Structure 1
Amino acid sequence: MKTAAIGVLLVDDHFMVRRGLAVALRVEKDLAVVAEAGNCEEMLAAYRQHRPDVVLLDWRLPGPNGAEATALLREEHPGARVLMLSALDGDEHIHLAVRAGAAGYVLKSAERGEIIQAIRAVHGGKSYFSPGLEALLHDRARKVEISPREREVLVRAAAGERNKEIGDHLGISEATVKVFMARIFQKLDARDRAHAVVIAIKRGIIDPS
């Protein structure tokens, strides 16, 4: 008896990326691209209609990002199997994806064979991470987390605002902003605010604007 192919839903806002992935996956007899989507809303609609076995999901999407889209999908369909495929390799990106319910995280720089291996693993109920990513996740668990308020301060600092401007926007004093910045420097092991912003963007704590 012939085994049914693994149905894959491709989610990426770039049409050519989806086309390339579709061509690469359709070569495999046990994989079938059942639908494509360019954003979270399209993904949810496609999932309801096609009920794919695995959702191959990019992080950067218009509207909700990959982690947020994963959370929305799994809230509606708790059994959904999501594999994140992204160019972003910050420990915070991986953490947020896993926390939202993603079963794996593969870098877009991965070879075709690795992506196929990851899809099969996730479909089989296992997790899969590109080499080195699990170590990043474990390292993050040992780091002191940035609080939501500290993240807000970082976002403002990344926009080039000075302490007084940050305080005015957040409704806190300039002195309090300085306290937050000192904590941020310590938590990120940063030399100064510019260094802190660079580290935060690289790790995925804040998005580049």
Structure 2
Amino acid sequence: MSAIRVVVADDHPVVRDGLTGVFRAEDGIEVVGEAAGGHETAAVVARIDPDVIVLDLRMPGGGVEAIRTLRALDPARPRILVFTTYDTDRDIRGAMEAGADGYLLKDVRSADLVRAVHDVVGGRLVLVPAARAALTGRAAENSLTAREVGVLRLVADGRTNRAIAARLGIGEATVKTHRLHVYEKLAVTDRASAVRTAWERGLV
């Protein structure tokens, strides 16, 4: 199995060096690029095509803005793991609604960070407790999770369940489950209505 290709995006050189050291100590992870800002992150990703970005939320050019830019280019790749010191509801919701696949705080152990990288590559949502609490509140407001938004965007592109599953690296049954959740949260019953409502809410 090939190594997971990671880009480290943080405006503090000491943090980038530390993260690079952590990942390079792992046999299954390869650091293939670094970036110090939002605009640079998008450029590096376009050139390198990594599997995962470990992304600081607040840096020149904006972390959330970088997530939106990357998701506009591709709703599924690369996986985006936010790695930050900020845990307010506003920061968490902003990042996840923009399309992040995980939200981790910088006080975690190295082993937990490494595990989180593997988890997001495997299609699993990685959230610290504060993020889970924020997103539970968001779900109560009938908003969509980052994964559901990703599925919805591919649905809007006319992709079949099989094509979406292949794109996201998940099973067709999982895609169907996400679609049902999307329909329920948007209060619709079919693809056309879901896409129309998504456009009206600015989700796609």
1:72 to 57, 69, 73: 69
Deviations 1:96-127 (A, max 9, x none): 11100001000011111111111101011111
* Amino-acid identity (%): 39
Indicate conservation of the 8 Å contact 1:59/1:85, yes or no: yes
Asked if 1 retains the 8 angstrom alpha-carbon contact of 2:87 and 2:130, the reply is: no
Secondary structure at 1:73 match in 2: helix
Structure 2: how far apart are the matches of 1:92 and 1:137? Answer: 11
CA RMSD of aligned residues (A): 1.4
TM superposition shift of 1:30: 0.4
Residue of structure 2 equivalent to 1:11 = 9
- 3-state secondary structure, aligned to 2:129: coil
Corresponding residue for 1:24?
A: 22
The structural deviation recorded for 1:139 is 3.4
- Deviation per residue, 1:103-161 (Å, 9 max, x gap): 10000111111111111010111110123420232235568xxxxxxxxxxxxxxxxxx
Show the counterpart of 1:154. none
Pairs within 5 Å for 1:156-195:
none
**Which ranges in structure 1 are unaligned for 5 or more consecutive residues?**
144-209
Question: Which secondary structure state, in structure 2, belongs to the residue aligned with residue 29 of structure 1?
Answer: coil
Gaps of at least 5 residues in structure 2 are 142-204
Which structure: larger Rg? 1
Q: How many residues align?
A: 140
TM (normalized to structure 2)? 0.65
Q: Does 1:116 align with 2:114?
A: yes
The separation in 2 between residues aligned to 1:139 and 1:90, in whole angstroms, is 13
Deviations 1:44-95 (A, max 9, x none): 11111111000110011112x2111100111112222101000000011111
Q: How does 1:100-111 map to 2 (within 5 A)?
A: 100-111=98-109
Partner of 1:133: 131
Amino acid at match of 1:20: G
Aligned mates of 1:74, 1:140 — CA distance in 2? 20
The residue type paired with residue 79 of structure 1 is A
Q: Give 2:72's aligned amino acid.
A: E
Q: Do the aligned partners of 2:102 and 2:120 also contact (CA within 8 Å) in 1?
A: yes
Cα contact 1:110–1:130 (8 A) shared by 2:
no
Decide which moves more: 75-84 or 29-38. 75-84
Asked if 1 retains the 8 angstrom alpha-carbon contact of 2:81 and 2:100, the reply is yes
